[in-house]
A and B are shown apart, each in its own frame.
Chain A
Amino acid sequence: DAGVTQSPTHLIKTRGQQVTLRCSPKSGHDTVSWYQQALGQGPQFIFQYYEEEERQRGNFPDRFSGHQFPNYSSELNVNALLLGDSALYLCASTTQELAAHYEQYFGPGTRLTVT
């Protein structure tokens, strides 16, 4: 049983460009959350998707947007990239039942470097 998978593993972009990161949740999971982890910091919650809708959002600007597909996979889009967007982007998946027990499973992340 594959866990949470993310692609690509690494990505280098230039300031002002747009980027799309992808996440496939663990089998049987229907809820996906995205986190940003800057170097030397703890992850920060960006948003969560369930039933193809954004359910919760952290303190991130509108440049950060997302999407969830019918197969529960998800994309994170960042527009007008800034140097400060350089970070490890983590995807976490769960089910509504597991979420009641605060259990979620994290992927290995996508390392985004903005130059």
Chain B
Amino acid sequence: GDSVTQMEGPVTLSEEAFLTINCTYTATGYPSLFWYVQYPGEGLQLLLKATKADDKGSNKGFEATYRKETTSFHLEKGSVQVSDSAVYFCALSDRGTGRRALTFGSGTRLQVQP
């Protein structure tokens, strides 16, 4: 079945540091890939997405590139801020199975210190 594997957290960085959160996936079909962010006490928010190989999703300074050859979708940001502290989830939706449901990774908590 479909699955998503994320690097374990927490990831602790100083403000303005470079961020990478690794994500790899397994899917039976041809998935679309997503990063969601969950701030304390809030619901999940879509951060960015990519629907085909080599697409780059980007939003709020975050980027991720759909790498089909390595089945990866790593999240990056060049300079993190304290306000980026949250839990980040990598997810996929497998178009090949016709399902619209999302399969999530276990999440990576990011803590940014001033």
| Pair B107/A42 contact, Cβ less than 8 Å | yes
Interface membership of B44, Cβ < 8 A: yes
Interface of B, secondary structure class, is: strand
Give A1-58 interface residues, CB cut-off 8 Å to B.
3-4, 33, 35, 40-45, 48, 56, 58
Which of B4, B42, B51, B105 meets A102, CB within 8 Å? B51
| Pair B101/A102 contact, Cβ less than 8 Å | no
Residues of A within 8 A of B61 (CB): none
| Pair B106/A42 contact, Cβ less than 8 Å | yes
Give B46-78 interface residues, CB cut-off 8 Å to A.
46, 49, 51
Which of A35, A44, A56 meets B100, CB within 8 Å? A56
Give B93-113 interface residues, CB cut-off 8 Å to A.
93, 99-107
Distance to closest chain B CB from A3 (angstroms): 8
Which of A4, A40, A44, A99 meets B43, CB within 8 Å? A4
Interface membership of B32, Cβ < 8 A: yes
